[in-house]
Amino acid sequence: PSKLPGYATHQVGVAGAVLDEDNGKVLVVQDRNKTVNAWKFPGGLSDQGEDIGATAVREVLEETGIHSEFKSLLSIRQQHNHPGAFGKSDLYIICRLKPLSYTINFCHQECLKCEWMDLQELAYCSNTTIITSRVAKLLLYGYNEGFHLVDLTMRTFPAVYSGLFYSLYHKELPETYEGSATLL
Amino acid sequence: PSKLPGYATHQVGVAGAVLDEDNGKVLVVQDRNKTVNAWKFPGGLSDQGEDIGATAVREVLEETGIHSEFKSLLSIRQQHNHPGAFGKSDLYIICRLKPLSYTINFCHQECLKCEWMDLQELAYCSNTTIITSRVAKLLLYGYNEGFHLVDLTMRTFPAVYSGLFYSLYHKELPETYEGSATLL
């Protein structure tokens, strides 16, 4: 095993799938600077020290003007030698968000179009990317049959040595499995 | 939104929870160079360009001598200002692995102890870390009631522009939600 010090190998991008549960519509954009106009979830790179959910909420607001709150983590993509990643690897995380406002005021520098689209339509339309389509299907599954089936929920815990905190994401653990001794 | 080029902000560590489904025992180690001897899952930092599952399998082999195969992703931790991360943020991913060999031959430079421990014992013992305890409970839940309840499974897809492939992790999607038009 390597004894070399660790170094940053990954950039982390985060997208927000903002779903209005009252009408089943999800917020989508088309990027301005792509040759193909595919519907996508708004998103972008994490700033240094920024939590995953915070990146999703910030990027959604910057691109679309919609305020939202973090609900869960839905999917993670790992990609190596990604053209935009300068030789680094790329982790792209898609979060489920809940809208807190509904009036779109999108960034015309970044986006060509922005709209609330029926989730069912997004899941089965052809002018989208594979990852958007798969996450739309996953979101549709959760919307129809319960978000507990698809969500990784977040909890915050104190770090052992540093006095800082960390965020842990995984499937909801039933109450009956909770409870423990005092841990290190 | 920032127009600056992306750069690597995160180091990615991966641990492997190797569970022998025949007897409910899981592979744990105690690090040599820690003040507190807590039971943990073996793991370490991803090499440049290395897939998450490959890191878990490699680190488990290096630390314990156990051969294993990747089954799923169980949990993700995000931590900022982590002491070992040189000012970068730290993503730590725990995978579920299946053992392919059973005879421990552990690295005495890195580990003080290594053993197959009863999963129930690990989930509720006190000399472990919070993250290990929570993931042990999650693994126990999956072992008792079905791994589909806790697993993020992996699929590989072609990237749009580069001709490369990426790995996508999320909860299993029921067959009825699959199927689509030809995507971009």
- Comparing CB atoms, the residue among B78, B150, B177 nearest residue A171 is B150
User: For residue B9, what pLDDT is reported?
Assistant: 84
Are A11 and B9 in contact (CB < 8 Å)?
yes
Categorize the per-residue pLDDT at B1 as very low, low, confident or very high, splitting at 50, 70 and 90.
very low
State both tokens at B1. 């939104």
State both tokens at B157. 């897809």
Q: How far is CA A72 from the centre of its chain?
A: 8
Categorize the per-residue pLDDT at B182 as very low, low, confident or very high, splitting at 50, 70 and 90.
low
Helical residues (DSSP H) of B68-162, grouped into ranges: 119-124, 130-145
**Tens digits of residue pLDDT in A139-156:** 999 999 999 999 999 988
Categorize the per-residue pLDDT at B85 as very low, low, confident or very high, splitting at 50, 70 and 90.
low
**Contact call for residues A52 and A167 (beta carbons, < 8 A):** yes
Pairing between β-strand B89-99 and β-strand B10-20 as defined by DSSP bridges: parallel
Helical residues (DSSP H) of B26-174, grouped into ranges: 52-64, 119-124, 130-145
> What Rg, from alpha-carbon coordinates, does chain B have?
18
Cβ-Cβ contacts under 8 Å, B2 against chain A = 44-45, 47
**Tens digits of residue pLDDT in B23-60:** 999 999 999 877 678 999 999 999 888 999 999 999 99
Q: Which amino acid, B130?
A: I
- Whether A73 contacts chain B with CB within 8 A: yes
Across the A:B interface, residue pairs with CB atoms under 8 Å apart total: 261
Categorize the per-residue pLDDT at B121 as very low, low, confident or very high, splitting at 50, 70 and 90.
very high
B62 catalytic per annotation: yes
Are B124 and A180 in contact (CB < 8 Å)?
yes
- Comparing CB atoms, the residue among B11, B107, B173 nearest residue A141 is B173
**Contact call for residues A7 and A89 (beta carbons, < 8 A):** no
pTM, two decimals, is 0.89
CA distance A108 to A124: 27
- Whether A177 contacts chain B with CB within 8 A: yes
DSSP string covering B5-34: PP---EEEEEEEEEEETTTTEEEEEEETT-
CA distance B27 to A62: 45
- Comparing CB atoms, the residue among A127, A130, A140 nearest residue B177 is A140
pLDDT at B106 over 80: yes
Q: 10-29 in A: which are within 8 Å (CB) of B?
A: 10-13
Are A10 and B8 in contact (CB < 8 Å)?
yes
Cβ atoms < 10 Å from Cβ of B65: 14
This complex has an ipTM of 0.85
Distances in whole angstroms, Cα of residue B79 to Cα of each of A17, A172, B89: 23, 20, 6
User: For residue A48, what pLDDT is reported?
Assistant: 84
Q: pLDDT tens digits, chain A, 184 residues: what are they?
A: 444 445 788 889 999 999 999 999 999 999 987 767 899 999 999 988 899 999 999 999 999 999 999 999 999 999 887 666 667 788 999 999 999 999 999 999 999 999 999 999 999 998 999 899 999 999 999 999 999 999 999 988 887 667 788 889 888 888 888 876 556 5
Residues 6 or more apart whose CB falls under 8 angstroms from that of B85 comprise A6, B11, B79
